[in-house]
């Protein structure tokens, strides 16, 4: 398992005048500082009229405005071939009404220790004939043209998620031998899945390409703006077309085994401008916290929380580890084919505060919340090495308070109203961890069996399914 190492560097610039407020601060964050990683720069307290200036080893970085006045963000990519050793970060930050304060810091980029993998594939993908070689060359030129026309503005609105809940089968950066012959290093992450599993957009974006390619098979490429592009290869089906705007969680295709493969899986790759980076190095960042307003009450994660017109809830579950839970449908009756939204409440009836790892992404929450099905094992997490960092948020539940959130998905997709039925629910964060040794101190770890939730479906004519929510 690759350790998910959080590395944060905080820099503060001196104020321009003695009477001025504290100057802007810079936070440099990365899962690790080695080739193939994405870096996030966050500046607070800066002049809102002009972005900060920064460069990494002489390459200029471009900042974009955050939600709060004076906050700015920028990405930097350490390509697979980025040189190890010291890297120079130059910055020029300016407080409102002040002059730029220039600073230089050193980031130490360490060797990632990428492994070597030997694979056996159809020989035509190792030594293609003339027509296939010409096809592959033309496709490479076409991709180069597409990447030069990406959106300068931001298209995503928050944290990125894994496109499928599959465990990695091939690591990013592997040095590869195909049929004994060396080829380019693996510039993506291969996720285990069966043919036909839906592939979902990890964030909002625009479809750049949706076509079969020689090596990558059926492929979709998304432009997320600001130089971020993601690729989904070897699909059995493509569900979008070039120019489509997609939302986070929208199905863009299905897992397959087309192109140069040894079996069905999803190849997920990410580029920041020209830098090839591990897509999970982007999933690691909590962009929701930087791009979305935090709720006034962190325990209320839905507008439905506390509404008096909700259907009555059944009793609480039996307490486990000091917590108990219950759930209810968001309304009394759902139309046939409509997405069912359940309101889930986790209460702390004790006298001491409880801390819970809350999975932020509703599409990944079935890993800890089973709706009419068993909970998913730890190994099915998109990246088990980042389970307790990139995918979760620690939530404090004070004595007598309740964490409340909506869930309208199962592990297979949206929860649709198909008939009058009752759902058995289970909630358990024990499934985030492979053993007790990996549990962070003070966090609740257990399992709650909720009272069944009855969902009523109208007998009227069937309606088209509601659009999938992110």
| Res. 470: pLDDT tops 50 | no
Start-to-end C-alpha separation, the chain: 29
The β-bridge partners of 300 are 404
Q: In what order do the strands lie in the sheet with 64-65?
A: 7-12, 25-30, 38-44, 72-77, 64-65
The residue behind tokens 């909970």 is: 375
* CB within 8 Å of 389: residues ≥ 6 apart: 4, 6, 31, 284
Q: Where are the domains of the chain?
A: 7-111, 116-283, 295-457
pLDDT of residue 313: 87
Q: What percent of the chain has pLDDT over 70?
A: 78
Question: Residue 106 and residue 88: Cα distance in Å, rounded?
Answer: 5
Residue 210 or residue 465, greater confidence? 210
pLDDT of residue 415: 87
Q: Which two tokens mark 325? A: 């839970």
| Res. 4: pLDDT tops 60 | no
For residues 255 and 236, the answer to whether their CB atoms sit within 8 Å is yes
For residues 84 and 116, the answer to whether their CB atoms sit within 8 Å is no
Separation of CA 75 from chain center: 16
- For 351-398, give the DSSP string: SS-EEEEEE--TTTGGGTEEESSPPPPGGGSTTGGGTTTTSEEEEEE-
pLDDT averaged over every residue in the chain? 81
Q: Which two tokens mark 415? A: 């929860």
| Res. 463: pLDDT tops 90 | no
Residues 53-73 have pLDDT tens digits of 999 999 999 999 987 767 899
For residues 164 and 198, the answer to whether their CB atoms sit within 8 Å is yes
Which residue, 121, 113, 260, 115, is CA-closest to 180?
121
Residue 400 or residue 188, greater confidence? 400
pLDDT of residue 238: 95
CATH homologous superfamily of 116-283: Glucose Permease (Domain IIA) (2.70.70.10)
CATH class of 7-111: mainly beta
Torsion sign across C-alpha atoms 426, 167, 280, 269: negative
> Hey, which bits of 236-341 come out as E strands?
237-238, 245-246, 251-254, 265-272, 275-277, 324-329, 333-334
3-state secondary structure of 419: coil
DSSP for residue 236:
S
Judged by average pLDDT, the poorest of 291-295, 385-389, 427-431 is: 385-389
Which residue, 207, 191, 219, is CA-closest to 243?
207
Note the pTM of the prediction, 2 decimals.
0.61
Residues 120-178 have pLDDT tens digits of 555 655 566 777 777 778 878 888 888 778 898 999 999 999 898 766 665 665 654 45
Residue 328 or residue 358, greater confidence? 328
């Amino acid at each position: 398992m690759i350790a998910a190492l959080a590395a944060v560097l905080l820099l503060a610039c001196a104020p321009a005048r003695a009477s001025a407020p504290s100057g802007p601060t810079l936070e440099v964050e990365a899962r690790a500082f080695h080739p193939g990683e994405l870096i996030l720069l966050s500046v607070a307290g800066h002049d809102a009229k002009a972005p900060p200036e920064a460069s990494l080893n002489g390459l200029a970085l471009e900042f974009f405005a955050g939600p709060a006045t004076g906050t700015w963000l920028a990405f930097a990519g350490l390509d697979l071939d980025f040189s190890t050793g010291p890297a120079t970060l130059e910055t020029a930050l300016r407080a409102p009404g002040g002059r730029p304060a220039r600073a230089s810091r050193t980031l130490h980029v360490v060797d990632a220790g990428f492994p070597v993998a030997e694979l056996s594939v159809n020989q035509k993908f190792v030594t293609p004939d003339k027509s296939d070689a010409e096809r592959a060359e033309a496709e490479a030129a076409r991709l180069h043209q597409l990447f030069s026309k990406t959106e300068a503005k931001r298209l995503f609105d928050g944290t990125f998620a894994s496109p499928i809940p599959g465990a990695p089968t091939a690591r990013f950066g592997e040095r590869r031998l195909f049929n004994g012959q060396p080829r380019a290093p693996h510039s993506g992450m291969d996720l285990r899945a069966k043919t036909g599993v839906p592939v979902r957009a990890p964030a909002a974006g625009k479809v750049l390409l949706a076509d079969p390619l020689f090596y990558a098979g059926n492929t979709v490429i998304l432009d997320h703006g600001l130089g971020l592009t993601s690729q989904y290869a070897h699909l059995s089906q493509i569900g979008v077309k070039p120019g489509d705007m997609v939302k986070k969680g929208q199905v863009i295709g299905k897992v397959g085994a087309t192109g140069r493969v040894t079996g069905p899986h999803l190849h997920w790759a990410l580029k920041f401008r020209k830098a090839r980076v591990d897509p999970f190095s982007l999933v690691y960042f909590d962009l929701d916290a930087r791009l979305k307003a935090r709720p006034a009450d962190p325990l209320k994660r839905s507008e439905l929380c506390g509404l008096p017109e909700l259907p009555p809830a059944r009793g609480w579950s039996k307490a486990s580890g000091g917590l108990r839970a219950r759930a209810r449908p968001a309304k009394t009756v759902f139309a046939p084919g409509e997405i069912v939204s359940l309101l889930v409440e986790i209460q702390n009836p004790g006298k001491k505060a409880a801390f819970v790892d809350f999975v932020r992404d509703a599409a990944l929450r079935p890993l800890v919340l089973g709706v009419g099905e068993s909970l998913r094992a730890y190994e099915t997490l998109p990246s088990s090495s980042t389970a307790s960092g990139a995918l979760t948020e620690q939530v404090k539940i004070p004595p007598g308070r309740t964490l409340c959130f909506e869930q309208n998905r199962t592990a297979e997709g949206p929860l649709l109203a198909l008939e009058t039925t009752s759902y058995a629910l289970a909630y358990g964060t024990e499934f985030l961890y492979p053993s007790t040794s990996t549990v962070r101190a003070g966090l609740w770890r257990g399992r709650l069996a909720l009272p069944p939730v009855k969902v009523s479906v109208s007998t009227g004519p069937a309606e088209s399914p509601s659009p999938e929510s992110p």
